[in-house]
Structure 1
Amino acid sequence: MKKAILSSFIIATSINAMPIQSVKFNGLLHLSDESASEISGLKVGSEFSDEIANRAIINLYKQGYFQNIYIEENDGNVVVNLTEKPVIAKIDINGVVTNDQKAIEQIIDIKKGQMYDEFALNNTKIRIRQFYEARGYFDTVVTTDISPINENENSLHITLIVNRGENITIENVHLIGSNALDYSDIEPVVANKSREFMGWMWGLNDGKAKIYELPSDSEKIQDEYLKKGYLDAIVSAPSLNTHFDNYKADLSYYISEGEIYKTGNISINAPEFLELDTENIISDFKLQKGDILNSSKMKLDAQKLEDLVANKGFAYAKVYPRTNKNSDYTADIIYEVIPEEKVYIREVVISGNDRTADRIIRRELYLTEGNLYNKTDLMDSKNTLKRTGYFEDVQIIEKRVSKDQIDLEVAVKETNTGSIVGGIGYGSSDGLLLNAGVSDSNIFGTGYKGSIMVDKSDDTLSGNINLTNPRVNDSLYSLGGGIFANDYNWDEYDERNYGANIVAGRQIGRYINAYISYQIERSQIDGLDEFYRDAGYKNGINIKSAITPSISFNNTDDYYIPRSGIIASTSLEYAGLGGDMEFFKNRTTFNIYQGLQDYINMDLIFRYKSGFGYIFNDDSSKLPINEKLFLGGINSIRGYDSRSVTPKKNICNPKSNSGGIIPGCKIIETGGKISFNNSFELSFPIINRLKMRGVLFYDYGMIGHSDINEIKRSSAGAGIEWMTPIGPLQLFYAQALDNKQGDDTSSFEFTIGRRF
């Protein structure tokens, strides 16, 4: 008597019920006899029948190991004969480049060590074709070569032979029926673009069709109409007319525009317990009554309203804008607010901080266990952590645990805070400029900041050591200090100074810090000739004892590459607490950062940076030259040597020699009492995965003794910003635009370890 299954077809014979005397399995490789007996249900002493045999065959076949199964029975002795599917021992993919092969290996359904399955193999072919279609290649052909290994039919070598298809190139994009928009209006937002001349160049459109993004392109075009008030606009599905003899195509959309709608009445429909000042909120919306209705502004207003409600503890609040069209082509907007329940923070979990202590992160959070949820506090916590410079990325993940409780996971990705800091440049007067040192803004994960720096050029040698605790005992107070020494061999004189400083500070609110510092410095100036002495400068030793109160504001969203926010500071140095000099010196900086992604759908960052200096001293001739103001260099006006932009004075004195009295004149650098410099920068991505960006800039500065317009200089150029493993790198090429005879200029400047 025999009962068998071949593939998935069962052949039944009549078997009388009888007790099983013995069970034997022939052909098992991947299962033990015990496992096969358990799966099949065939056991000595149990009853054997037609139904039991059928069930045993089906149970074994479901395991996926077998392609043939049949059962023989003789006087209660049962023999189960099995033929296992062959195993895939080797897989090769031919006809593809290395990068494609790695990607294909991740998406195919067959793997080394799996049982051979024809369905999985066919699905693999489909996936390879889809892989190339998603990248714009069509008519890809995938064939297979299947052969046993060493004549062992149970081990197979499968070769996938890929003949990649061709790109479909879009020659033209037609907006049929469109009057309000043309191709240039939709080109920035759609994925499928027409080919440009020399489209193979970086930054130009190559016209390759992206089939899987075509449906969303129709939605993006319709959204552009909605931004312009065309609420009735209808954009058809894309029509790609392809010529497969040359794989070129025309892409068409059929459009019915309708009329432009203006914004009618604006209202907010919200529960009374939210106590929203709706009139004040609406007056602050981007979209106002009478404006052309713009869907983008309406979404921003809805998000703003949603954040306001979330700030009241309603973490899951939703705002749905509805439009009611009127016959006069106006549309009323009703913002429906659904707050759900108030939500409290149950638990805050820190993750990803292999080096930084939990408490260093927690002290920067404005939300903790037991607090009522607040969206602004959440975003401020994230931005504050990013401003520390300790982390490459910060995400605060919200995990709902009940209708009124939420867990927060602060997931950080630490960055290289400890770095070797170095820089190199070249100046026409200073020659090769070098700086080196080590710094760490998060020493051993404690939050302490420290550095040891040395700068060297043909004329200078300087160094300093600094250590700061930004949050003493995790409080709002900071304390730091440092020592420094400098040796300058200027063209006209030598300067040597050394000293120390101590700085104490306190955080005031979320974005403001106040500081007070004390500095004691001994400086010695030698080598000033009679021309400088006649200008009022003297050789000798000076002692400066100065106290400097300062205040700073910082609400940026990142330490190295901020995309929003302001950094501003001002300080007033008073020298005269002992020592032999007395003056007031103000230094003020103002930087603003604005990402343009939301406005032009490009990752551009606009930056404006400025600095102002002023010395309050009625008799500046009593000030040592090293206390005056100078411009030039990477931190003020690029393209000019450091400290080279300064007022100059022509001094004439009689000069004696063995031949008698001969008048002599000389132009000397006097330094300034008032200065202003500013920079306009535009940062753009070059290679995102390497965190490399480009920058275009224009620098302009003014400096004078009594009139700030006395000296004016400007420059323009381009550069690269790169977050390298050893710290941020900046490389600039600058061109002086209005340099005068005698100016010291430089073209290339390079530094590692500075904040962008």
Structure 2
Amino acid sequence: MDISSLLSIRGASLLARRVVLATLFFLGLAATSVKAQDIEGKNVSNVEIRYNGPRTVDEARLRNFISIESGQAYRSEKVDNDITKLYESGLVSDVRVFAEPAGESLKVIYEVTTRPDYVAIGFVGNSVFSDQKLAKETKLKPGGMASDEVILSARRNIEEYYRGYGYPDVTVTHRTQPSETGSGVDLIFIIDEGGKKEIHKIRFEGNNTYDSRTLRKQMKTKEKGWFSWLSKSGRYESQELDSDVEAVLDYYRTRGYLRASSPGPRLDPVKNGKVDLVIPINEGEKYTVAGVGFGRMTVFKPEELYPALTLNGGDGYSSKKMRDDIKMIRSYYGSRGYADASVTPDIRDAGPNKVNIVYRVTEGSRYRVGRVNIEGNTKTKDKVIRREMPLKPGDYFNSVELETAKARLENLQYFSDVQVDGQPGRGGYRDVNVLVEERRTGSISAGIGFSSIDSIVGFVNLEQTNFDIMNPWAFTGGGQRFGANLRLGSERTDIGISLVEPWFMDRQLALGGELFYKDSQYYSDFYEQTNAGGAIFVRKPIGEKASLKLEYRLEQVQIDLDPAVTTLSAASPFGPSLLLPEDGDYIRSAISLNYVYDNRDAVIETRSGEKFDIGLTVAGSVLGGDVDILGLSLQGQKYWNLAWDSILSLNGELAFVDATSGSVPIFDRLFLGGGRTLRGFEFRDVGPRDPVTGEVVGGQSLGFLSTEYTVPIIDNVRAAVFYDLGFVNDGAWDPSPSDLYHDFGVGVRLKLPISPVPIALDYAVPIDSPDPVADKGGQFNFYLNYQY
């Protein structure tokens, strides 16, 4: 007996590999009359790598993918993982693992067949695109090795490129051949281009109730247009077209046309490879719901579910409402631990153009949570993921909480893909499986830009959203947020560094701080403001959507007045300028408390939900400063997702500041004007003015309201129309809207590849200005359209 197990897999999926591994392992044991317990857990005396064929990969490189080491206990699971890693590395085409008894120990041998180098990449059958262009699309480089997965990805890249230019039937295969150099192989892609099919027009037949324009909006497939090179319109893809036809029919069924159907689309050739896409529609009759009921249930009573139904007796039939009600019923059951509950709608005629709907529920069994398994996190610590999981072992299994966990993990922005699901465990338990795919969470950016507020700006930003201060040199995986920035411009200098620990002491309590230096000349033509200091805060969630934030901020503020103010004051008939007392240095020591409720569906490009922020700020000598003020602010945002993915938003603020001793310094006073506020007016140009310099010195009461409506134009581009109004009053606690400023404007929201945050470009015109000096005509603003 010299071989106790033999493991060999060729290009199988991970699950298939494990099945084959287990089968071969036990077959090997049976063939040699060795029991599993005679091998599992035995000490490994030596790990050898044996080559089958040419030695094209260095042994040290292969050992990087092998976890079993001499002196360790033999574990078949480790062998499984090692084989998987070797295949995924692309370095080997075959692996066999032998475990040979060596006295009381085991000698483990990895027999590998290594892949040859790809000397060159070639193409056969391509007439539309050159070899050079296709080679670029493969994203492969000659002179290296590639796994089967990488080659398949290259084939898909080529096919996707062809489809983007109207070749939906393209197929790509590959083969290898010995290289003419005498070493290595050439990788040849074999291309069957198929015929060109670009969609010229999309037409419907039989649509009497809804016009073709309305139905085309339900489809992802679009007609070829002027901007097809950017929007990729005009593509013909059979799978997407099937979904589009179903979307059109569902549009009918959602509006009562229960029997709407289509025999399928057809293509009418036009010319030059273009086709008209024709979709026949059989609308049928419009139906109403006579009544809604439930089959036999034991967990819930019908009267418990009826109030939550959206489709009721007397309503027009709607497939969407019926799907929503099915989802609601399953959520009710899922929240009680019935993970396998299924709901089937039984639709039966109840007279002319009427139907009865009976929801028949198969309840299944109730489960508790077994294990919570996490995979795919190569950088992020397990605890960072586990603390976002609302389900813990022993809890009643709740399918609704699976969606909550998925949303929480996605919102971390650490992963490009998140999958959370349940699978049968032992007994009456369900295991929760979390599979994540890591993404880059760190970024360094540098550049030069132009701002509509502060002219030319050079910047350097360093950000790591998955920071770990306890992991030197790598500094990733701990779920902390670190940022450092430097901005240098003709009218500004900003330096800042910040760190936030969202789970301080492994509790749901965020602790953060920042250090900053800001020299701002763009606030005014008559003074320069410098802020230097730091802040520390704690934030505690209140339920799922709300939080309380307590912050302490200590900073030195310097107001450096232009000597021209003194000169103007001496010659002014109005007396000294209001700016003169502002000159000097201040110590501002302040504590603030904010209550935030945020139920938006997304932080960036919000479509629905609302956010409210109520804040109270106190600064004064009792805290060690020389600025004594009391501030109150109330901010709110509301979003509605309307037809054609348009978005209507409402944004408002009411703020007050008052001095508890002395006067409110200019850096704590309130202003409007510029991007995100009154966009038809210049930055900080709305508010009480200094009669000597004509400079706005700010007020102590502020009100602002803005409504905006955006519609998609093409991917990542939205058009906007907006209306703003607001006031800034000189006195504290004065919400009187007697002096209202209004503006109206249009804009564009661009989501560029270089930035995940949309860029806003706006042009607004004042409609009414109580202060004629503030009306300087139309204003152009651009800024990052992103607000926390």
| Residue matched to 2:290 | 264
One of 552, 561, 568 as aligned partner of 1:518: 552
CA displacement at 1:192 relative to structure 2: 6.8
- The amino acid of 1:669's aligned partner reads V
* 2:549 counterpart of 1:507: no
CA displacement at 1:239 relative to structure 2: 5.3
CA distance in 2 between counterparts of 1:325 and 1:103 reads 59
* 2:651 counterpart of 1:614: no
One of 625, 628, 638 as aligned partner of 2:669: 628
CA distance in 1 between counterparts of 2:189 and 2:405 reads 54
CA displacement at 1:434 relative to structure 2: 4.4
| Residue matched to 2:694 | 667
CA distance in 2 between counterparts of 1:134 and 1:202 reads 11
CA distance in 1 between counterparts of 2:242 and 2:560 reads 76
One of 562, 569, 574 as aligned partner of 2:613: 569
- The amino acid of 1:494's aligned partner reads E
The alignment's TM-score, normalised by the length of structure 2, stands at 0.66
Aligned to 1:667, the other structure's residue is in SS state coil
Question: Please, which moves more after superposition, 737-746 or 561-570?
Answer: 737-746
Question: Please, which moves more after superposition, 509-518 or 537-546?
Answer: 537-546
CA displacement at 1:297 relative to structure 2: 1.4
One of 590, 597, 601 as aligned partner of 2:636: 590
| Residue matched to 1:281 | 305
| Residue matched to 2:513 | 481
- The amino acid of 1:262's aligned partner reads T
Q: Is the 8 A contact 2:657 2:664 kept in 1?
A: no
Question: Please, which moves more after superposition, 734-743 or 513-522?
Answer: 734-743
CA displacement at 1:310 relative to structure 2: 0.9
* 2:338 counterpart of 1:297: no
Structure 1 portions without partners, runs of 5+: 1-29, 32-88, 107-127, 652-664
Q: Is the 8 A contact 1:463 1:484 kept in 2?
A: yes
CA displacement at 1:213 relative to structure 2: 6.3
CA displacement at 1:131 relative to structure 2: 12
Q: Is the 8 A contact 2:681 2:774 kept in 1?
A: no
Bigger Rg, structure 1 or 2: 1
Q: Is the 8 A contact 1:703 1:711 kept in 2?
A: yes
One of 519, 538, 541 as aligned partner of 2:581: 538
CA distance in 1 between counterparts of 2:416 and 2:423 reads 23
- The amino acid of 1:269's aligned partner reads G
CA distance in 1 between counterparts of 2:757 and 2:326 reads 40
CA distance in 1 between counterparts of 2:451 and 2:123 reads 60
1:691-722 deviations in whole A, cap 9, x for unaligned?
A: x5556363625231154453525443213224
**Greater relative contact order: 1 or 2 (C-alpha under 8 angstroms, separation 6 or more)?**
1
Aligned to 1:452, the other structure's residue is in SS state strand
Q: Please show how residues 589-738 of structure 1 align to structure 2 within 5 Å.
A: 589-593=635-639, 600=644, 607-617=649-659, 622-637=663-678, 642=683, 644-649=684-689, 651=691, 665-675=692-702, 676-678=704-706, 680=708, 682=710, 684=712, 694=718, 696=720, 698=722, 700-705=724-729, 706=734, 707-708=736-737, 710=739, 712=741, 714=743, 715-722=745-752, 724=754, 728-738=756-766
1:577-627 deviations in whole A, cap 9, x for unaligned?
A: 52444332123333345556xx64x5x6655544442224599x8111111
CA distance in 1 between counterparts of 2:225 and 2:431 reads 53
Aligned length: 616
| Residue matched to 2:150 | none
| Residue matched to 1:186 | 215
CA distance in 2 between counterparts of 1:394 and 1:349 reads 13
- The amino acid of 1:538's aligned partner reads P
1:379-436 deviations in whole A, cap 9, x for unaligned?
A: 2222222333433443213333468433322223334433336676546774324454
Which has the larger share of strand? 1
CA distance in 1 between counterparts of 2:194 and 2:387 reads 56
One of 421, 446, 468 as aligned partner of 2:500: 468
- The amino acid of 2:581's aligned partner reads K
- The amino acid of 1:470's aligned partner reads P
Q: Is the 8 A contact 1:717 1:734 kept in 2?
A: yes
CA distance in 2 between counterparts of 1:358 and 1:685 reads 42
Q: Is the 8 A contact 1:134 1:211 kept in 2?
A: no
* 2:396 counterpart of 1:372: yes
Coordinate RMSD, CA, aligned: 4.8
Q: Is the 8 A contact 1:425 1:749 kept in 2?
A: no
Aligned to 1:282, the other structure's residue is in SS state helix
Q: Is the 8 A contact 1:632 1:640 kept in 2?
A: yes
CA distance in 2 between counterparts of 1:282 and 1:200 reads 48
- The amino acid of 1:268's aligned partner reads F
- The amino acid of 1:290's aligned partner reads G
The alignment's TM-score, normalised by the length of structure 1, stands at 0.69
| Residue matched to 1:75 | none
| Residue matched to 1:167 | 197
Task: Summarize the Cα distance change of 1:385–1:90 in structure 2 as closer, same or farther, 3 Å threshold.
Answer: closer
Q: Is the 8 A contact 2:376 2:437 kept in 1?
A: yes
CA distance in 1 between counterparts of 2:510 and 2:171 reads 67
One of 359, 365, 371 as aligned partner of 1:335: 359
One of 502, 513, 525 as aligned partner of 1:491: 525
Aligned to 2:436, the other structure's residue is in SS state strand
Q: Please show how residues 200-211 of structure 1 align to structure 2 within 5 Å.
A: 206=234
Task: Summarize the Cα distance change of 1:171–1:697 in structure 2 as closer, same or farther, 3 Å threshold.
Answer: closer
| Residue matched to 1:230 | 257
CA displacement at 1:105 relative to structure 2: 10
CA displacement at 1:465 relative to structure 2: 3.2
Task: Summarize the Cα distance change of 1:723–1:586 in structure 2 as closer, same or farther, 3 Å threshold.
Answer: farther
CA distance in 1 between counterparts of 2:189 and 2:600 reads 55
CA displacement at 1:485 relative to structure 2: 3.3
CA distance in 1 between counterparts of 2:162 and 2:489 reads 56
CA displacement at 1:666 relative to structure 2: 3.8
One of 374, 381, 384 as aligned partner of 1:360: 384
Q: Is the 8 A contact 1:168 1:242 kept in 2?
A: no
Q: Please show how residues 243-262 of structure 1 align to structure 2 within 5 Å.
A: 256-262=282-288
| Residue matched to 1:38 | none
